[in-house]
Amino acid sequence: MRRVVVDAPASSANLGSGFDVFAIGLRDPRDSIELRASESQERIISLNYTNGYAFLNSDITAAGAVVKAVAKEFEIKSKIDVTVNNRIPIGVGLGSSAASSVGVAVAMNRFFDLGLTEERLLSYAVEGEFAASGARHYDNIAGSLQGGFRIVHQDPLKTVGFPPPNGMAIVVVTPGIELPVRKTEYARSLLPKNLELGNLTKNISLASRVVAGFAKGDVAMIGSGLGDVVIEPARKAMIPWFDEVKSSALEAGAAGAFISGAGPSLTAVVDSLLSEPRRVRKAMTECFAKHGILTKSFVTTVGGGARIATEQ
């Protein structure tokens, strides 16, 4: 039985004002997705996770939805076994469903020699996001597939990317708080139904600064655009002491900070040539701890996208 193993990274989406449009692929953590297949007279899909769960002929998971979509489109009749080795924390705003969706799409493309472009890979991977959150959003999967900073245009589906500036570090802090079931779907339900023109203008200005900052390689400019007057005010209620923690990051030297995806993780951007990322991490975790909230945190950078790790 042949096998393909794909590594797909975590991602952080929105970057404040870029809701459903901006994302960065992180250097780590990365999920590992292994695909094996053998001849069969019918299509059989088996999904296994390193936490012990197994699903047979099921598309209730992100990875399963992607396998089913690709196999149906290309009329693949095989016994397909997928194992997802989870290293990305699940349900905290770091694109765990996107990583498994991307990893499976890349593995199916390589294993069955489908010749899919990156846009086609995204169009299949997004079915995993729909299964996980009830919405087809491309930001996390673009960050995970392609790495770097990604700007997504959905109709027609295209992405534009920039590498990170030299010295740009990423601090991720995840508070240990209780979250609703299907958290991403719930977080999307909090979004405002109407938008004031002034807030639209403000967010366009902020988003433009983020893009300009990546284009110029200017961490400070990127940080100055990480605000949000539309989505963040609606979602920050999910994260206790959000404003205080964000302020602590800025006071410790972060260029900017934002809710990672649907949260509750907070991502801070730091120019490590000017400030110490570990100092920012310490300030944020201590701020949460002061209010009795335990956290998990790490320092990383913007990294490359999904890659074939093993092929036999």
Catalytic residues: 129, 184
DSSP secondary structure letters along 180-230: -SSHHHHHHHTS-SS--HHHHHHHHHHHHHHHHHHHHT-HHHHHHT---SS
Encoded tokens for 273: 């040539």
Closest CA to 81 of 105, 114, 45, 108: 45
Closest CA to 99 of 55, 52, 147, 56: 147
User: Is-contact 17 8, C-beta < 8 A?
Assistant: no
Side-chain-side CA neighbours of residue 107 (13 Å): 33
DSSP 274: T
Is the preceding omega at residue 156 within 30 degrees of 0, hence cis? yes
- Determine the Cα–Cα distance for residues 2 and 103; give it in Å rounded to an integer: 17
- Determine the Cα–Cα distance for residues 215 and 228; give it in Å rounded to an integer: 20
